[in-house]
């Protein structure tokens, strides 16, 4: 109990200390910004703030507004208001003399996203993680059409586990590499290797589906899950409300290292308090090896060095995916994840 209370006090103290810090503006910030197509919440915040993840503070959003923020559209005007001595961003027209011309903004088209949608859309619309028990929920290809061993676009597949016609569009995938918690060694799940899309033609047991997109060859035994709607939500960029201590588990695409615009997985998820929109800092902790005067190997632990930021855009129970938005060096598996 004492440990729990101490942890809560530490988290509350850290959150209070961060909130008490004055907002730092960039050098010579603009007095306004006209929103254009292609803008992001992160980019707009960076035009005014040195720390873009303090977006809720400069907009003075409460907790409800963070979860359901006002939308910003191309054509809107974002104003920097310094009238009360504390920086604040506003939408619409500035406070001016009534005799002076007024500027009005009319929303046009789709609201702007938090981060570039082309960088994360595939990771939102496609399965990423096969969690424990997913094998009981997934449908399976049990047979291919008569003249095919491997399926491609336009071919038909016969699938078990689709009892009715309530879901028309499906993703096809197969289990990929295991994601292992670097701290505990526990397998938290498997990455899903996305193969393509399929459309239900006839329900039944087995059901008949047509492969509408084949990014890779599809075969008997591959898995299917319902395709969620592809939506890009304007998650508010913000720092986590509690202390985060995690590690990078993988860099998507089976590469050894990443950088800006790479997608990484971390060994914390929604069950650990990680939410979409959280901004996390990337740290490198290394051990320097050298030989002493007697040609004996010695090691020196180097303090953690912060080198980048990432934006969480999708969460599972114990795994989260984040887009690297800033990085001064390569991102490596095992790097530390902390509060920004």
Domain boundaries, the chain: 2-112, 120-226, 245-338
Residues 6 or more apart in contact with residue 278 via CB below 8 angstroms: 238, 239, 240, 244, 311, 312
45/80 Cα distance (integer angstroms): 11
Q: What is the pLDDT of residues 40-55, one digit of tens each?
A: 888 998 999 999 989 8
Q: Which residue has the higher pLDDT, 232 or 328?
A: 328
Give the residue, 62 or 238, on which the prediction is more confident.
238
Report yes or no: 312 and 280 within 8 Å, Cβ to Cβ. Answer: yes
Mean pLDDT for the stretch of residues 53-80: 84
Euclidean distance between CA atoms 115 and 282, whole angstroms: 18
67-70 long-range contacts, CB within 8 A, separation 24+: 69/234, 69/236
Bond from prior residue into 99 cis (ω within 30 degrees of 0)? no
- Mean pLDDT computed over 146-171: 89
Domain 245-338, architecture per CATH? Beta Barrel (2.40)
Task: Provide the residue count of the chain.
Answer: 340
Residue 230 burial (CB count, 10 A) = 11
Q: What are the tens digits of pLDDT across the range 255-278?
A: 778 899 889 999 999 999 999 999
pLDDT at 7 (0 to 100): 39
Rounded percentage of the chain residues whose pLDDT exceeds 90:
38
State the pLDDT at residue 294: 66
């Amino acid at each position: 109990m004492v440990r729990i209370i101490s942890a809560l006090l530490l988290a509350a103290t850290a959150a209070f200390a961060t909130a008490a810090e004055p907002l730092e503006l960039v050098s010579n910030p603009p007095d306004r910004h006209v929103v254009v197509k292609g803008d992001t919440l992160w980019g707009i915040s960076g035009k005014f703030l040195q720390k873009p993840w303090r977006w809720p503070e400069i907009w003075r959003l409460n907790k409800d507004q963070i979860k359901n923020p006002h939308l910003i559209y191309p054509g809107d005007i974002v104003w920097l208001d310094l009238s009360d001595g504390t920086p604040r961003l506003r939408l619409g027209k500035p406070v001016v003399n009534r005799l002076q011309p007024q500027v009005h903004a009319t929303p046009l088209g789709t609201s702007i996203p938090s981060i570039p949608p082309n960088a994360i859309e595939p990771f939102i619309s496609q399965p990423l993680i096969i969690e424990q028990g997913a094998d009981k929920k997934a449908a399976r290809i049990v047979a291919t059409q008569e003249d095919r061993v491997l399926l491609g676009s336009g071919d038909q597949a016969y699938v078990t586990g689709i009892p009715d016609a309530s879901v028309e569009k499906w993703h096809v995938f197969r289990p990929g590499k295991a994601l292992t918690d670097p701290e505990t060694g526990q397998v938290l799940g498997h990455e899903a290797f996305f193969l393509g899309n399929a459309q239900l033609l006839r329900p039944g047991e087995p059901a008949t589906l047509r492969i509408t997109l084949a990014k890779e060859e599809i075969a008997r035994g591959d898995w299917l899950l319902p395709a969620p709607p592809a939506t890009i939500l304007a998650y508010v960029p913000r720092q986590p409300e509690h202390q985060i201590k995690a590690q990078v588990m993988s860099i998507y695409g089976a590469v050894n290292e990443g950088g800006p615009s790479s997608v990484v997985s971390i060994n914390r998820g929604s069950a650990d308090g990680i939410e979409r929109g959280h901004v996390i800092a990337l740290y490198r902790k290394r051990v320097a090896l050298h030989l002493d005067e007697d040609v004996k190997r010695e090691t020196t632990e180097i303090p953690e060095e912060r080198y980048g930021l990432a934006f969480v855009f999708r969460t599972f129970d114990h795994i989260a995916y984040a887009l690297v938005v800033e990085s001064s060096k390569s991102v490596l598996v095992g790097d530390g994840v902390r509060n920004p």
